Amino acid sequence: MLTMDSFDFKGHTALVRVDLNVPQDGNGRITDDTRARAILPTIRKIIRDGGSAILISHLGRPKGKVVPSMSLRPVAEHLGELLGVPVLFATDCVGDDARAKASALKPGEVLVLENLRFHPEEEAGDADFSRSLGELGDVYVNDAFGSAHRAHASTTVVARSFPGNKLFGYLMQAEIDSVDKVLGDPKRPLLAIVGGSKVSSKLAVLENLVGKCDALIIGGGMANTFIKAKGGHVGSSLVEDDLLDTARSVLEKAATRQIEIHLPMDAVVADSFNASANTDICASDRVPDGWMALDIGPESVKTFREVALKAGTILWNGPMGVFEMKPFQQGTIAMAQAVAEATDKGAFTLVGGGDSVAAVNQFGLADRIGHVSTGGGAMLEYLEGKVLPGIAAVRE
C-alpha cells in the first residue's frame, strides 16, 4: 500500500476525494469549517512535494441537479484562505472546463471542482462518469472518511482508474488507524460507551461491540429500552417496545461473555420534552408516569466516571442525554470530561458519531481526546464491523 508519507507527489496531479460538505447558514456563510481544516495536511503535503491537487467533493443533497446555493465555489475560496494559496475553481466536475483547468495545473496549484452531486451519475456510481473524473489526475487520494460508506463514483468506482496508484489521505488514514486500534488489539480493558436516542439505530454497533469490549456503558434515550427490558418502569421516557427482546439478548450475550454492563441507576427526569420543563432526579427504573428520563443522574455520572478512569481504551458514540437542552447536558459533559481525563492518564480514546463529536467540540474538550472522528454514518458502519466500500476500493 502506498502512503502519504512515502509517496512523492512531485510532477503528479492528484485527484483527491475530500469532504467539503461544510455546514452553511441561510446566506451561504460557512458556520463550521472543521471539515475543510481536516484535509489541509493532505493538500499541503501534495503541493509541498511539487505536485498539484484536484479536489472533488459533494455538498448537501442537490439530488443530481445544479442547485446554485449548493455550489462549492465559496468553500473553495475559504479553502484558499486557510491554505494561504489561490485555489482555482471549475464550474463543473466533468467536461471541457474541468479538463482544461486540470491539464493547465502547475506544480503547487490547487483546483476545486464543482459539487459532484450536481450529476446523478455520482451517487449512481456510473462507470463513464467515474472514468471522466479519473482522467483528470494520475494518482487518486481518498481523504473523505465521512463518505467512505457510500459506493459512489468519486469514493469507490473512480479508484479503478488508478491501479497501483491510489492511497488514503492523512485524515482517512488516521480514522482507519484509530478504529483499528480500538477494534483490533486494544489496550485492555476496552470500554465502549454507547448513547443517543434509539437502540434501533445502534443495534448492529452494540452487537459487534458486545463481542469485543470488556465493559459497556449504555446511556441516553436507548438506556430506557434496556431498563424496561429488565422489568423497570420508565414512565413516558423514549422506549422502543418492539426491541425489548433484542435488548434482553444483548444483555444475555454480555453476561455470557462476562462483560460488565453499566446502565444508568438514576436519571434526570422532566414532565415534558422541554428546556423549561419541571425536573427531578429519581431511580432510572422508577420513573413516575407522565415523566421522562432526559439525562443520566448524579449517581450514574459518578459510577460511569470511575469505570472510564479504569479503561485502557475507550470508544464513545452517542450522548448520555438530551444535551442540546441545558438542563439535560450534565451527564454528557461529565462523560466527555471523564473520557478526556482517561486520555490524560494514558488511555487511547476515540469519540465517533455525530452528536458525541458535537458535544466534545461544544464543551471544548476535543484536544484532550485521542481521536475525534469526522465521519458520523461512516464511523457507525465501521463500528458495526462492515467493510466500507471507500476503504476497500483503495485497498483492492
Question: If you count them, how many residues does the chain have?
Answer: 396
CB atoms within 10 A of CB 61: 11
Supply the minimum distance, in Å, between the C-beta of residue 322 and ligand AMP. Answer: 4
380 contributes a contact to ligand AMP by CB under 6 A? no
**Structure-block grid coordinates of residue 318:** 452517542
Cβ 175 vs Cβ 200: under 8 Å: no
Give the nearer residue to ligand AMP in terms of CB position, either 135 or 324.
Answer: 324
319 contributes a contact to ligand AMP by CB under 6 A? yes
Q: Which residues are paired to 168 by β-bridges?
A: 142
Residues numbered 47-86 forming contacts with ligand AMP, rule: CB under 6 A: none
200 contributes a contact to ligand AMP by CB under 6 A? no
Known catalytic membership, residue 29: no
Of 198, 253, 286, 368, the catalytic one is 198
Supply the minimum distance, in Å, between the C-beta of residue 277 and ligand AMP. Answer: 12
Give the nearer residue to ligand AMP in terms of CB position, either 91 or 197.
Answer: 197
Cβ 186 vs Cβ 348: under 8 Å: yes
238 contributes a contact to ligand AMP by CB under 6 A? yes
CA nearest 240: which of 197, 282, 204, 283? 197
Give the nearer residue to ligand AMP in terms of CB position, either 294 or 333.
Answer: 294
> Which of the stretches 22-30, 60-68, 146-154, 347-355 binds ligand AMP when contact is defined by CB under 6 A?
347-355
362 contributes a contact to ligand AMP by CB under 6 A? no
Known catalytic membership, residue 60: no
Residues numbered 294-313 forming contacts with ligand AMP, rule: CB under 6 A: 294
CA nearest 192: which of 214, 168, 169? 214
Known catalytic membership, residue 198: yes
390 contributes a contact to ligand AMP by CB under 6 A? no
Closest chain position to ligand AMP (CB):
196
Give the integer Cα–Cα distance in Å for 114 and 59.
9
Known catalytic membership, residue 354: yes
Considering CB under 6 A, how many residues would be counted as binding ligand AMP? 17
360 contributes a contact to ligand AMP by CB under 6 A? no
Among 322, 335, 372, 391, binds ligand AMP (CB under 6 A): 322
Of 35, 117, 150, 202, the catalytic one is 35
370 contributes a contact to ligand AMP by CB under 6 A? no
Among 134, 146, 186, 220, binds ligand AMP (CB under 6 A): 220
CA dist 195 → 192, 201, 263 (Å): 10, 11, 10
Give the nearer residue to ligand AMP in terms of CB position, either 132 or 329.
Answer: 329
Give the integer Cα–Cα distance in Å for 56 and 281.
50
Residues numbered 255-294 forming contacts with ligand AMP, rule: CB under 6 A: 293-294
Give the nearer residue to ligand AMP in terms of CB position, either 24 or 197.
Answer: 197
Give the nearer residue to ligand AMP in terms of CB position, either 165 or 303.
Answer: 303
324 contributes a contact to ligand AMP by CB under 6 A? yes
198 contributes a contact to ligand AMP by CB under 6 A? yes
355 contributes a contact to ligand AMP by CB under 6 A? yes
Give the nearer residue to ligand AMP in terms of CB position, either 151 or 283.
Answer: 283
Strand order in the sheet with 139-142: 87-90, 110-113, 52-56, 13-17, 139-142, 166-168
What is the set of active-site residues?
Answer: 35, 198, 354, 377
Give contact residues for ligand AMP (rule: CB under 6 A).
196-198, 201, 220-221, 238, 293-294, 318-319, 321-322, 324, 353-355
